[in-house]
Amino acid sequence: VNNLKSKVNFKRLKDTIDKSAEIGNIPVNGLKRLALSDEDKLMRDIFQVWMEEAGLEVRIDDFGNMYGKRPGKTDKPPVLVGSHLDTQPSGGRFDGILGVLTALEVVRTLNDNDIETMRPIEIVNFTNEEGARFEPPMMASGGLAGVFDREFIYSRKDRDGKKFGDELKRIGYQGKSENRIQDIYAFLELHIEQGPVLENENISIGAVEGIQGTNWLEITVTGESDHAGPTPMNLRKDALTAASQMIGIIEERASGKGVMATVGRLSLSPNVTNCIPGQVVFSLDIRHFDDYLRKEVLNEITEAIQRIADDREITVRIEDLWDSKTTIFNPKIVNLIEERAKELGYNVKKMPSGAGHDSKHMNELAPTAMIFVPSANGKSHDVSELTLDEDIENGANVLYEVVYQLANNEGDLV
Ligand SMILES: [Zn+2]
Q: Binning pLDDT at 50, 70 and 90, where does residue 156 land?
A: very high
Helix (H) or strand (E) holding 191: strand 186-192
Q: What is the pLDDT of residues 184-239, one digit of tens each?
A: 999 999 999 999 999 999 999 999 999 999 999 999 999 999 999 999 999 999 99
Whether 358 contacts 255, CB under 8 Å = no
Each residue of 282-295: pLDDT tens digit? 999 999 999 999 99
What are the pLDDT digits (tens) for 357-390? 999 999 999 999 999 999 999 999 999 999 999 9
Examine the pLDDT at 322 and tell me if it is beyond 90.
no
CA of 379 to the centre of ligand 1 (A): 12
329-362 residue pLDDT tens: 999 999 999 999 999 999 999 999 999 999 999 9
pLDDT for the residue 79: 98
* Percent of the chain topping pLDDT 70: 100
Say what the pLDDT of residue 352 is: 95
First vs last C-alpha separation in the chain: 19
What does pLDDT average to over the chain? Answer: 97
Reported as a single tens digit per residue, the pLDDT across 115-142 is 999 999 999 999 999 999 999 999 999 9
Say if CB 316 and CB 306 are below 8 A apart.
yes
For residue 81, the CA-to-ligand 1 centroid distance in Å is 14
Cβ neighbours of residue 284 closer than 8 Å, sequence gap 6 or more? 215, 216, 217, 218, 219, 250, 261, 262, 263, 301
pTM of the model: 0.89
CA of 149 to the centre of ligand 1 (A): 22
Say how far residue 57 (Cα) sits from the centre of its chain. 27
Q: How far is the CA of 201 from the centre of ligand 1 (A)?
A: 22
CA of 190 to the centre of ligand 1 (A): 10
- The answer to whether 207 touches 188, Cβ cutoff 8 Å, is no
Q: Ligand 1 centre and the CA of 300: distance in Å?
A: 33
Return the CA Rg of the chain: 24
pLDDT at 372: 98
Ligand 1 centroid distance, CA of 130 (Å): 7
Residues 384, 26 contacting (CB under 8 angstroms): no
Q: Give the tens place of pLDDT for each residue, 30-64.
A: 999 999 999 999 999 999 999 999 999 999 999 99
Regarding beta strands 213-222 and 279-288, do their DSSP bridges make them parallel or antiparallel, or are they unpaired? Answer: antiparallel
Residue 2 pLDDT level (bands cut at 50, 70, 90):
confident
Burial-class residue 161 by CB neighbours within 10 Å (0-12, 13-18, 19+): exposed
Q: How far is residue 412's CA from residue 287's CA, in Å, rounded to a whole number?
A: 32
For residue 136, cis peptide bond before it (omega within 30 degrees of 0): yes
Quick one: pLDDT band at residue 414, thresholds 50, 70, 90?
confident
pLDDT at 3: 77
Q: Quote the ligand 1 centre to 2 CA distance (angstroms).
A: 32
CA 359, 360, 362 angle in degrees (round to 5)?
A: 55
Give the residue among 21, 70, 63 at the shortest CA–CA distance from 42.
21
CA of 224 to the centre of ligand 1 (A): 44
